[in-house]
Amino acid sequence: MSVPLLVMENVSTGYNSRTVLEEVNLKVYPDDFIGVIGPNGGGKTTLVKIILGLQPIFGGRIHFPSGRIKTGYLPQASQVDRSFPITVRDVVASGLKSRNPLFPHLSSSQKKRVDRMLDEVGLKPVEYKPIGELSGGQLQKTFLSRALIEKPQLLILDEPNSHVDKNFEQELYSWLNELSREMAIMLISHDIGTIAPMVKTIACVNHSMHYHPSNQISEEVLKVYNCPVDIIAHGPIPHRVLKRHDDE
Amino acid sequence: MMSELFSIFEYQFFRNAVAAAVLTSIIASMVGTYMVSRKIVFIGGGITHASFGGIGLAYYMGLNPFAGAAVFAVMTALGIEWLSEKGKVREDSAIAVLWSLGMALGIIFVFITPGYTPNLMTFLFGSILSVGKGDLLLLLIFSVLLCIYFVVFFRPVLYTAFDPEFARTKGIAVSAYRYLMSIIMALAIVLSIRTVGIILVLSVFTIPQITAMIFTRDFSRVVPWAAALGAFGSVAGLMAAYVLDIPASAAVIFFLTVQFLIIKACSLLIRNIKRKRVSG
Ligand SMILES: Nc1ncnc2c1ncn2[C@@H]1O[C@H](COP(=O)(O)OP(=O)(O)O)[C@@H](O)[C@H]1O
Ligand SMILES: [Mg+2]
């Protein structure tokens, strides 16, 4: 087996001394495609923030056996301010690291890379539009491009399917299928039905984390993992939506 | 009438006032666009009013009041950024406390300063018609340094304002940039208090910026638009103040607001006409 990109051992964390996640053990390998599921408030976003180094840990250990990894991050929709005066192009360009911290401008080759990225996802016609004027799908495409532009080793998507139409969702999933050949992916969702067919393994996050080494998961197992689900039948695949905390 | 209006430019004090207004507009265009974009105008209010405490203390100790204001403003700005980063105190309540405490300290110190009572109106409403060479030089140096900073570090400044967490994942020293911007905000505000005063300073940091955002929502374009609109509105305000014999800084703010309202109305009108064309 190959060397993992990252290893979490017995990690716990929280906010203002309130623990929201504990006993997290997880290894992420370069060819992983992990579906991260769990109820709202279960700690999914907190988990990815630990991985990204945005959230300090209370206990345990997180390490990167093959050195610091390049990450691509698509934050949860509620975390970005759509009214901020910034253009599509500037957002995508923000995914590129500056070579010189004392003169952090883009090199001409980096500018070309931005052009290519915009072309690839079809955002070129709206590159100078402020993000506030985009549709939900275009906005997610913008953030996906920002995450992908440096060719990350680990792509983390925090609920990329919220506030987008079904067409874009399908397009997104076919991209992810292709991308999963080149990079590790963690796809966060509170909707297991739609992501299960695509991912290879599943991590259930609800205060603690249970790792399920396959994408076949039964309701009984989810119960054992403390990830309650509801079954809503629509379409050919049983479409399971996890129960929200606040509905209970 | 026109020539009479422009003859006022023959006076040194008026030329100084115009230069101060233009430089203040340039400074405010960059700092104000940052504040409006990050939705932290309220923090600007906290910094402004807290600095009055510094003015009072400096008076009491016989020091330069603007140096006192600068120290208080910088400390307040850093304190608010620190609190919000730590997430310990609700930011808006902390700002409200500093806001009123600063004003209270200012009044107390001025009151207990023996003998001479300074003209409070100067601080509350500025004294743009009496700016001297020294003030102008200070404004000029600060605006040149600020322009260089914004041009060189535009990317990290924009990205740390827009999405600090993502910026951090790209290895940008987010805290350093945020704290530096806090200091810049504080100094920009104190320098502008000299020209427009505590009560009105926030408007030069916001009105031209929101006017500019009617034309463009691209940060790098909002800044020059805001500078131009701010300079135009404030020079017009100064001239009106002279003609109508009203307080200069108030006239400036009034003109900036009227300019905003006219442009806003025009943009709504144009949008309506366009929509009718499309549907009809
Ligand atoms: N910045 C924060 N400060 C305090 N509590 C937080 C913060 N972010 C999240 N939490 C709390 O941590 C828990 C987990 O949140 P989160 O990781 O966002 O869950 P999920 O992404 O699964 O919906 C929730 O109870 C939430 O209220
Ligand atoms: Mg979340």
Structural domain tally of chain A? Answer: 2
* Nearest Cα residue to A54 out of B57, B172, B12: B172
Q: Mean pLDDT lowest for which of A172-176, B119-123, B191-195, B272-276? A: B119-123
Q: What is the pLDDT of residue A245?
A: 46
Of A96, A119, A152, the last residue of a domain is: A152
Q: Are residues A142 and A172 in the same domain?
A: no
Confirm whether A50 is domain-assigned.
Answer: yes
> What is the SS3 assignment for A156?
strand
A226 and A204 in contact (C-beta within 8 Å)?
yes
Q: Which residue in chain A has the smallest CA separation from B87? A: A16
Confirm whether A77 is domain-assigned.
Answer: no
Q: What is the mean pLDDT of residues B79-84?
A: 85
Q: Which residue in chain A has the smallest CA separation from B214? A: A85
Q: Are residues A175 and A185 in the same domain?
A: yes
pLDDT tens sequence across B155-177: 999 999 999 999 999 999 999 99
Range of the domain at A118: 82-152
Q: Are residues A200 and A165 in the same domain?
A: yes
Q: What is the pLDDT of residue A51?
A: 97
B217 and A130 in contact (C-beta within 8 Å)?
yes
Q: What is the pLDDT of residue A236?
A: 40
Q: What is the pLDDT of residue B244?
A: 92
- Asked if B166's CB is within 8 angstroms of A85's CB, the reply is no
- Asked if B155's CB is within 8 angstroms of A75's CB, the reply is no
Confirm whether A179 is domain-assigned.
Answer: yes
pLDDT tens sequence across A94-123: 999 988 888 899 999 999 999 999 999 999
Q: Are residues A218 and A246 in the same domain?
A: yes
Q: Are residues A145 and A230 in the same domain?
A: no
Q: Are residues A31 and A138 in the same domain?
A: no
Confirm whether A76 is domain-assigned.
Answer: no
Q: What is the pLDDT of residue A179?
A: 96
Q: Is the pLDDT of residue B264 over 90?
A: yes
> Does ligand 1 lie within 6 Å of residue A189's CB atom?
no
DSSP conformation letters of A193-239: HHHTTT-SEEEEEESEEEEESSS---HHHHHHTT--EEEEE-SSSEE
> Does ligand 1 lie within 6 Å of residue A75's CB atom?
no
In angstroms, the CA B190 to CA B212 distance is 23
Give B-chain residues touching A73 at CB under 8 angstroms: 165-166, 169
Question: Is some CB atom of chain A closer than 8 A to the CB atom of B90?
Answer: no
Confirm whether A122 is domain-assigned.
Answer: yes
Confirm whether A74 is domain-assigned.
Answer: no
pLDDT tens sequence across B54-65: 999 998 998 998
Q: Are residues A8 and A110 in the same domain?
A: no
Residue B88: what are its φ and ψ, rounded to 5°?
Answer: -80, -50
| Average pLDDT along chain B | 92
In angstroms, the CA B244 to CA B222 distance is 32
> Does ligand 1 lie within 6 Å of residue A208's CB atom?
no
Residues of chain A with pLDDT under 70: 1, 228-248
Give B-chain residues touching A52 at CB under 8 angstroms: 165, 168-169
Q: Are residues A113 and A162 in the same domain?
A: no
Residues β-bridged to residue A14: A19
Q: Are residues A162 and A237 in the same domain?
A: yes
C-alpha distances in angstroms, B264 versus A83, B30, B147, B211, B215? Answer: 18, 21, 28, 7, 10
Which domain CATH number covers A17? 3.40.50.300
Of A120, A152, A184, the last residue of a domain is: A152
Domains (range + CATH), chain B: 2-279 (1.10.3470.10)
In angstroms, the CA B91 to CA B172 distance is 24
Of A104, A135, A152, the last residue of a domain is: A152
Give B-chain residues touching A48 at CB under 8 angstroms: none
- Asked if B39's CB is within 8 angstroms of A53's CB, the reply is no
Q: Are residues A64 and A87 in the same domain?
A: no
Residues β-bridged to residue B31: none
The kind and range of the H/E element at A48 are helix A44-51
Q: Are residues A165 and A230 in the same domain?
A: yes
In terms of pLDDT, which residue wins out, B95 or A129?
Answer: A129
Backbone conformation region of residue A184, classed left if phi is above 0, alpha if psi is from -120 to 50, else beta = beta
- Asked if A54's CB is within 8 angstroms of B169's CB, the reply is yes
Confirm whether A75 is domain-assigned.
Answer: no
Q: What is the mean pLDDT of residues B241-252?
A: 91
**Nearest CA to CA, how far is A92 from chain B (Å)?**
11
Q: Are residues A163 and A138 in the same domain?
A: no
Question: In which band, very low, low, confident or very high, does the pLDDT at B117 lie, cut at 50, 70 and 90?
Answer: low
